[in-house]
Amino acid sequence: MSQDIVQNLQNKLIINKANEMGIECKPLIPGCEDFLELSYKDKNIMINKTRSHKFSFIAGFLAKNKDASNLLLKRFGLPVPDQIVVSKMSEEAINFLNTYKLVAVKPIDTNCSVGITLGIESEDELENAIKTASSYSNKVIIQKYIEGYDYRVLVIDGKVEGVLEYQPAFIEGDGYSSIEQLIYKLNEDPLRRNNAGEFKPLKKISIKSKNLHFNLKKQGKTLQDILDKGERIQLLLSGNVLAGGISIDRTEDICSVNANIAIEAARAINVDVAGIDIRCKDIRVPINNTTEGILEVNGLPDMTDHVLPYQGTPRDVVKAYLQYLFKE
């Protein structure tokens, strides 16, 4: 399998940077990108994208299970939103909603924001969100909703190497186009991601997204509504790039307190290369433990947006990753 037909973006970045650094790097099995073999001097290692050869099996399970990982984060005294775990709509779920007024629902063990519903305010919304999450996992987490901005902190070997802010996608009215037409226009932006193996810093907005329709409904809108000229609406509550959000480099902005929180979060789950998702009002200010916190610890962090952010300074995080892999 030659380098020019490698499709996975993570692998492309790793192979290109490895070659630049004089490290031999290629897929272990021709035609399969699950494992990369890296050789430098007398050392030979295997990795799976951004999972290192030091990443343990149990750490992977802990990172994937949000209930287990949140329990460990709390043991370390780290800020995690209050939550409960349920398997279906129940009195306990309703009481939790009534207590916090605004909640999020997530599958207990999925990645990439799949099956997540944010900003739930009513029992009907809660029931639908639990059904959605249950289609991905047999148990779901109901969590106190944290308002603020989404940040991804990349921690490699106990050090913060990159910080991104994700801003939700939005559209602005022109006085005659429908919301659906404005979304199609937004998707025509050449900077939005499309074909496999081709990197664009933005992703297309799916007209069929349940979260899109949910968020429009909460704003009293439908796809057929026409926005006034200059009227701006947010399409999704999440700023995740997978939901069409915009990535902005904030590596120089994170305060030392929040950087240490991210480092401790990776240590709590024993993940050596971790993406820590934090929601807070300003990453430059220490997190308020009651209104802000850690949303997730990812054991297979995407480094692409750190290398090629939509706005801000590109960070050479792949180099830092490779240096860690061959650290004596």
How high is the pLDDT of residue 238? Answer: 60
How high is the pLDDT of residue 200? Answer: 65
How high is the pLDDT of residue 1? Answer: 40
How high is the pLDDT of residue 232? Answer: 86
Domains detected in the chain: 3-49 (no CATH), 82-145 (3.30.1490.20), 146-168+237-328 (3.30.470.20), 173-235 (no CATH)
- Residue 89 predicted with pLDDT over 70: yes
Query: What confidence tens digit (pLDDT) does each residue in 184-220 have?
Result: 888 888 777 655 556 666 778 888 888 788 888 878 8
Which residues are 249's β-sheet partners?
164
- Interior angle at CA 143, CA 137 and CA 262, nearest 5: 95
Residues 6+ apart with CB under 8 A from 315: 161, 162, 249, 251, 306, 307, 309
**CB of 154 within 8 A of CB of 160?**
yes
Distance CA 207, CA 105 (A): 21
Mean of the pLDDT values across residues 60-64? 92
Residues 6+ apart with CB under 8 A from 23: 38, 39, 40, 322, 326
Distance CA 93, CA 112 (A): 24
How high is the pLDDT of residue 14? Answer: 96
Distance CA 318, CA 23 (A): 13
- Residue 241 predicted with pLDDT over 60: no
3-state secondary structure of 158: coil
Distance CA 81, CA 118 (A): 13
How high is the pLDDT of residue 2? Answer: 44
Query: What confidence tens digit (pLDDT) does each residue in 254-313 have?
Result: 999 999 999 999 999 999 999 999 999 999 999 998 889 999 999 999 999 999 898 999
Mean of the pLDDT values across residues 86-103? 95
Stated length of the chain: 328
- Residue 231 predicted with pLDDT over 80: yes
How high is the pLDDT of residue 189? Answer: 80
Task: Report the mean per-residue pLDDT for the chain.
Answer: 89
Distance CA 62, CA 267 (A): 12
